[in-house]
Amino acid sequence: MNKGSDYFLRQVAIIGGGIIGATAAFYLSFLKGSESVHVTLYDDGTGQATKAASGIISPWLSKRRNKRWYALAKRGAELLPQLVMDANLGADVYQQTGTIVTRKDHADLLRLYTEAQRRAADTPAMGDIVLLTADQVGQRMPFITNPPEGVFVSGGAKIDGSAFVTQLLRNAESRNLTIVKQRVKLDRHGRVIDHTGQRQFDNMIIATGAWMKDTLAPLGVKAAIRPQKGQLIDLSLAADHSWMKLPVLMPEGSSDIIPFANGKLVIGATHEDDGQFDLTPTQSAQSELLGNAKVFINTLSRNQIVNVRVGTRAYTPDFGPFFGSLTTISDSILVGGGLGSSGLTTGPIIGYLLAKSILQRGLESFEAYTKPVSAYIH
Ligand SMILES: Cc1cc2nc3c(=O)[nH]c(=O)nc-3n(C[C@H](O)[C@H](O)[C@H](O)COP(=O)(O)OP(=O)(O)OC[C@H]3O[C@@H](n4cnc5c(N)ncnc54)[C@H](O)[C@@H]3O)c2cc1C
């Protein structure tokens, strides 16, 4: 697109290229009305939670009791297969292999199984629910030496957060997206200060994760967001491509075990409230994660660790994600954040709804999924 025709397009800025920003950028290039906008996405990638995430999509059996969160996560899990098709994402990015959820106590597991069946009755995305003995779990995940019994949910999935955002952004770049790899600030009028100076945009999406408080400060508002450090380990085991089809194990009160193709095993994750924005990998986190996984796979050893990933999650005081327009400042500034530990599930639907509201000028109410933005940004 040349600069002459660009002049007549509505200019949209996205600050933050994690899962919310990348999904919004993709849908702003894909949905009806996208031909009338040009999008500039600013991101420097430092500390990004999306790239560090374990990659589990399985919200239905969470112990959380927040109804809005559940409605959002449920719709988010439903959107993902559609998004994968819309953006033509590769099989290395998203695989619906099912998840196995465990309980330490057998009676609790039976209750979970009954609850899962009840929920699946009106949630087709959950797929089939199967109660598995320890032996059956071992058959489905042959590398596990001490399998627990569990409930299998066939609709559960795993996602590679880093590849996901990379492919979404590349796709949008081929149409109406320009990416600027830069940390930017706002001025008090809501203009973006980038390498070219101050830029006024017609619409803006602010999706800066744990850094939202800093981003919004120049506007004179305070975001109730706190950072939390998360670490996970990638191990390399001798295995073939068939691992891609193995389910995820989610043991109660312990670290999750996520097998990917070619023997890559992800164990995650830590939740370190005192870690704040620190991105240093620690030996103690590696020991904790490896120790948790060894309960189920006693053959694991430290020399199989090939990578430690560290990211910063963003939490609100009530753990609820939020999104919508910053009405006290300007209806044209949209925000989305506070995704906590389930943002790979809730981020894409937030990005989609924000993009749609820009292109189709606010057709859908967000009330079923989020408290008003003013509950989190004062
Ligand atoms: C270790 C770990 C494991 C996790 N596992 C899971 C999981 O299994 N399942 C799940 O659903 N969720 C998981 N999560 C949570 C999930 O990753 C996050 O909730 C989600 O990715 C947050 O997305 P986001 O787009 O809001 O923010 P982020 O992904 O953090 O992206 C924000 C981006 O904004 C950029 N930025 C900030 N300020 C500026 C600025 N001023 N200018 C330009 N750029 C800026 C940052 O550098 C960053 O790239 C995990 C998180 C961690 C850390």
132 in any annotated domain: yes
Residues 233 and 289 in one domain: yes
Say how many Å lie between the CA of residue 304 and the centre of ligand 1: 26
Residues 133 and 232 in one domain: yes
Q: Is 230 in the pocket of ligand 1 (CB under 6 A)?
A: yes
Partnered with residue 151 across adjacent β-strands are: 101, 131
Structurally, the chain folds into a number of domains equal to 2
Residues 149 and 231 in one domain: yes
Q: How far apart are CA 221 and CA 213, in angstroms?
A: 8
Q: Would you state the structure tokens that stand for residue 215, as one six-digit string?
A: 């981003």
In sequence order, which ranges of 280-323 are alpha helices (DSSP H)? 283-294
80 in any annotated domain: no
Output DSSP code: residue 272: B
Say how many Å lie between the CA of residue 139 and the centre of ligand 1: 34
Ligand 1 binding pocket mutation candidate from 15, 43, 205, 345 (most atoms within 8 A of CB) = 43
pLDDT for residue 102 = 97
Tens of pLDDT, residue by residue over 38-60, are 999 999 989 999 999 989 999 99
Q: How far apart are CA 203 and CA 267, in angstroms?
A: 39
Q: Would you state the structure tokens that stand for residue 290, as one six-digit string?
A: 């490896």
Residues 238 and 307 in one domain: yes
Q: How far apart are CA 270 and CA 230, in angstroms?
A: 5
Contacts of 42 (CB under 8 A, 6+ apart): 13, 14, 15, 16, 17, 180, 182, 183, 184, 192, 194
Give burial (CB, 10 Å; 0-12/13-18/19+) of 16: buried
pLDDT for residue 158 = 94
Residues 298 and 238 in one domain: yes
Question: Which helix (H) or strand (E) segment is 314 a member of?
Answer: strand 305-315
Say how many Å lie between the CA of residue 312 and the centre of ligand 1: 7
In one-letter notation, the amino acid at residue 366 is F
Contact (CB, 8 A) for 267 and 293: yes
Residues 238 and 287 in one domain: yes
87 in any annotated domain: no
CATH number at residue 188: 3.50.50.60
pLDDT for residue 5 = 58
From residue 100, give the alpha-carbon distance in Å to each of 138, 154, 204.
11, 9, 40
Q: Is 348 in the pocket of ligand 1 (CB under 6 A)?
A: no
69 in any annotated domain: no
User: Any idea of the CA torsion for 233, 342, 209, 28, to the nearest 10 degrees?
Assistant: 110
Q: How far apart are CA 198 and CA 202, in angstroms?
A: 14
Say how many Å lie between the CA of residue 68 and the centre of ligand 1: 20
Q: Is 321 in the pocket of ligand 1 (CB under 6 A)?
A: no
Give the Cβ contact number of residue 314 at 10 Å: 23
Partnered with residue 227 across adjacent β-strands are: 314
Contact (CB, 8 A) for 69 and 346: yes
Residues 252 and 353 in one domain: no
Residues 266 and 311 in one domain: yes
Q: What are phi and psi of 71, to 5 degrees?
A: -60, -40
Tens of pLDDT, residue by residue over 202-254, are 999 999 999 999 999 999 999 999 999 999 999 999 877 678 889 999 999 99
Partnered with residue 51 across adjacent β-strands are: none
CATH number at residue 283: 3.30.9.10
Residues 343 and 202 in one domain: yes
Whose Cα sits closest to atom 40 in ligand 1?
Answer: 183
pLDDT for residue 1 = 44
pLDDT for residue 328 = 82
Residues 311 and 232 in one domain: yes
pLDDT for residue 92 = 85
Contact (CB, 8 A) for 342 and 304: no
Residues in the chain, pLDDT under 50? 1-4
Last residue of a domain, one of 277, 298, 315: 315
Say how many Å lie between the CA of residue 145 and the centre of ligand 1: 33
Last residue of a domain, one of 315, 330, 357: 315
Q: How far apart are CA 14 and CA 169, in angstroms?
A: 12
Question: What single string gives the DSSP state of each residue in 194-211?
Answer: ETTEEE--SEEEE--GGG
The residue range of the domain holding 297 is 99-155+227-315
Q: Is 246 in the pocket of ligand 1 (CB under 6 A)?
A: no
Going by C-alpha positions, the residue among 61, 88, 90 that lies closest to residue 73 is: 61
Q: How far apart are CA 31 and CA 363, in angstroms?
A: 14
259 in any annotated domain: yes
Angle subtended at Cα 206 by Cα 202 and Cα 210, rounded to the nearest 5 degrees:
170
